[in-house]
Structure 1
């Protein structure tokens, strides 16, 4: 099956985030550390941008106000000189021009002047660095004609000069006089300040990001230590055995005066409660195991007596009534079943207690060969197959217990499959493990039972046909439900694993056991 977008799942990297319902790959969530760093940097960006914008705006306004003051003085001088030299206050003898309004003492370099007549520029010029007036064409300065004669400064653009602050006023004989000062220096100053603020801001944000990241990493170190502790606890074998939980958060990370310390203290309190619960559970289980072991041991003697007396009655059953003989057969059958149950309970109790037994090198190939041979003789209604290598496969363990594993698996296949079922025992090697498989082509195991198959007193009778038939004259002895739990306990005690996979037509039990270490050769 292909992934959304035609990409094979095998082609995706192992740590690729899952895809959403629309086929797009979901973005991995940001960590708390990254969110804090990004939040602080974003705040710094906003603050820097606001401060920079306010600073540049204020500076620009101050510079423009200062330029407007200069413009007002230049406009007064230009208006006074517009009538030309020798002005006596009478009618003008010549038409005013830009030279009259510019070439005056006090006019600054770059000052632009124009004489307006009915919204038309009749003369315009600019003052160069030598104090000379450079005339410009009226068409170039036509924007100056649009400045209202209100005595206020306005910003306009003059071709070839750029933005200027211009002020228009009424001159002699009804002519308009426009004086303008370039905004180039003001704009250059504000642009330089903007660039400096941007560069300093970027440098500051970079330094802040590095410093903030390290500071947050140091601040979150206690959380990481608590995380590592929780991860180490998750790897402890808490589901079985002596579930000791004596790890705690270090005192430096459990200071109630800080938020992280209060979390560490709460974590320690929780671990204390869990530890006490585990201790109580272990004590209860130990009492139960001891009770089962003691009860099983005590029941062995009366059960042996019952079986002995039932055997004695066999000699005279021909003289007994049919119902009495039938009852004695049932007593004998149930005593055998109860004896097996007591023996299995006693074995499980010993395995749970971890009783030390002597381990030796065990040949699994021999055990498999003998177990299949016994199955041929005991259950001829099934077809038993054996597939083992030509070399011995040896593990370290208890011979009797490992024989119990193989015999229980074969007995389970016989008990829960119909006559004529093929059962194959396979033995092989995989790396440093011996692998034993028992496969049958029976009806399979009910999925509802499969999940709990290795628990005690769980039977697969719901879905698997039993080997015995109800039409048989021999009383049916049902299993105790402990066979597979014994198999799992023995395999676990030997450091191995067991798994089961079942579907109609194939049920596969697989046992892995570590191989025995090779013995050093004697020279």
Structure 2
């Protein structure tokens, strides 16, 4: 049974019970009022002087006169003598048959006597006189009570039916927002993630529920989009990694087959083949190392963080660059800076920065390195005088296996992972990396993160 059906049924039951109780109270009250009226009539009749005179001087009722009360007397021997019958004189009603017990009870209070018709009876004994019996027929009262009972039952059923119909209509209207929520939920379950639950009246429970559901749906939609994007990146990553790994393996296999066919007859060919096999093996090793580093950065946690001297790491890397490239001007403006993070990851990051400067800037071109730690932030800026990266390509430059100049990257032995490794390191430390125009004419790479623990 649906909730609206249960609510409607419960409402109908409550209406039925309450109206039945009210009807029963009305019937009991009316019945008591009817009998009280009859009892008052009997008491008035039996105490009337004219009635008392009938005990000694009975007179017949005219044919055209209706008498509401029948009268009788009881002598000392218990013999009942009817003095006057109820009803029309021409068609009187039968006087009730009274037992001794009934007469005795009627002396105390009015009693009802079943029969055809039924009577209400009282017995009184005036001082010095015989006992007088007054009996009023209950036919009209019983008919009135029967009609009242039928009216009450009909009214109860009608009110219950109308109440149930009204309750169903009200509940149906009340549940319209719920129906809309159900429809929206079904549509969302079928894949319509842009669907939202209609907002109910603000300030009501349904309004709060609809707002909460929309927030939950938005959160789930965002989570689904994030998972789908992650799966897309994973598929792309696996595809690109497979391609990059296949290339050196193909070269190695080709030279191995060449050596097998040559059989060692050409020393020059053997030397060349071994050199290429060695270089491709090292290239493959570098690729695997970089992929493992990316995987570690994706899984890094605060438990592996420790305080270290970031200024020392940056200084060592770029002083090595200056020592190995004496024709370059390497300007270092490095202030003391402590960081909580993974020191090895930052050493790899600075090594990639040095490698990018060496590979992608003209020989002898200047390089400027600035490190600041102020106002709760650490900023590392590297400027070069190379060709830079066009603004329209900067958004994808930090993605994995991105080669902005494929021929240049291949010639230099790169896999398009250097920038993505730097981004992974910075992301794992809750930082930000920006690619901008450099005052030296090339690329400015700026890394910004909190000076304290990033987690």
Find the aligned partners of 2:105 and 2:90 in 1 and give their Cα distance: 26
Find the aligned partners of 2:210 and 2:10 in 1 and give their Cα distance: 26
C-alpha contact (below 8 Å) 1:56/1:193 kept by paired residues: yes
Find the aligned partners of 1:199 and 1:169 in 2 and give their Cα distance: 42
1:71 is matched with 42
Find the aligned partners of 1:177 and 1:204 in 2 and give their Cα distance: 49
The CA deviation at 1:219 is 1.2
1:170 is matched with 125
C-alpha contact (below 8 Å) 2:187/2:195 kept by paired residues: no
1:246 is matched with 194
C-alpha contact (below 8 Å) 1:116/1:145 kept by paired residues: no
Find the aligned partners of 1:152 and 1:183 in 2 and give their Cα distance: 20
Whether 1:39 and 2:47 are equivalent positions in the alignment is: no
Please give the per-residue CA displacement for 1:93-124, whole angstroms capped at 9, x wherever unaligned: xxxxxx46x859xx962422333346844323
2:53 aligns with one of 78, 81, 84: 81
**What SS does the corresponding residue of 1:249 show, helix, strand or coil?**
coil
**What SS does the corresponding residue of 1:124 show, helix, strand or coil?**
strand
Find the aligned partners of 1:117 and 1:166 in 2 and give their Cα distance: 17
Find the aligned partners of 2:187 and 2:77 in 1 and give their Cα distance: 88
Whether 1:205 and 2:160 are equivalent positions in the alignment is: yes
Please give the per-residue CA displacement for 1:41-87, whole angstroms capped at 9, x wherever unaligned: 111111111111111111111221111111001112376125423xx
C-alpha contact (below 8 Å) 1:113/1:178 kept by paired residues: yes
TM-score normalized by the length of structure 2: 0.51
Please give the per-residue CA displacement for 1:131-183, whole angstroms capped at 9, x wherever unaligned: 3695958xx61347623377554223253322x22111125766432111122
**What SS does the corresponding residue of 1:147 show, helix, strand or coil?**
helix
Find the aligned partners of 1:207 and 1:135 in 2 and give their Cα distance: 45
Find the aligned partners of 1:70 and 1:54 in 2 and give their Cα distance: 24
Can you give the 5+ residue segments of structure 2 that lack an aligned partner in the other structure?
Answer: 266-280, 282-455
2:182 is matched with 227
**What SS does the corresponding residue of 1:245 show, helix, strand or coil?**
coil
Find the aligned partners of 1:192 and 1:217 in 2 and give their Cα distance: 37
1:240 is matched with none
Q: CA RMSD in A?
A: 3.5
C-alpha contact (below 8 Å) 2:73/2:132 kept by paired residues: yes
1:479 is matched with none
TM-score normalized by the length of structure 1: 0.45
C-alpha contact (below 8 Å) 2:74/2:131 kept by paired residues: yes
1:372 is matched with none
Find the aligned partners of 2:255 and 2:171 in 1 and give their Cα distance: 81
C-alpha contact (below 8 Å) 1:114/1:125 kept by paired residues: yes
C-alpha contact (below 8 Å) 2:86/2:136 kept by paired residues: no
2:81 aligns with one of 95, 112, 123: 123
1:216 is matched with 171
C-alpha contact (below 8 Å) 2:87/2:93 kept by paired residues: no
Find the aligned partners of 2:93 and 2:28 in 1 and give their Cα distance: 34
Whether 1:191 and 2:146 are equivalent positions in the alignment is: yes
**What SS does the corresponding residue of 1:301 show, helix, strand or coil?**
helix
Find the aligned partners of 2:177 and 2:210 in 1 and give their Cα distance: 8
C-alpha contact (below 8 Å) 1:120/1:142 kept by paired residues: no
The CA deviation at 1:217 is 0.8
Find the aligned partners of 1:231 and 1:48 in 2 and give their Cα distance: 42
C-alpha contact (below 8 Å) 2:73/2:133 kept by paired residues: yes
C-alpha contact (below 8 Å) 1:82/1:171 kept by paired residues: no
Whether 1:157 and 2:113 are equivalent positions in the alignment is: yes
Find the aligned partners of 1:32 and 1:149 in 2 and give their Cα distance: 58
Name the one with the larger helix percent: 2
Find the aligned partners of 2:100 and 2:145 in 1 and give their Cα distance: 25
Find the aligned partners of 1:135 and 1:31 in 2 and give their Cα distance: 60
Find the aligned partners of 2:241 and 2:93 in 1 and give their Cα distance: 124
Change (3 A) 1:128 1:154: closer
The within-5 A match list for 1:109-120 is 109-117=67-75, 120=78
| Larger RCO (alpha carbons 8 Å, 6+ apart) | 2
2:252 aligns with one of 306, 322, 326: 306
1:239 is matched with none
1:393 is matched with none
2:231 is matched with 285
Change (3 A) 1:283 1:145: closer
Moved more, 109-118 or 142-151: 142-151
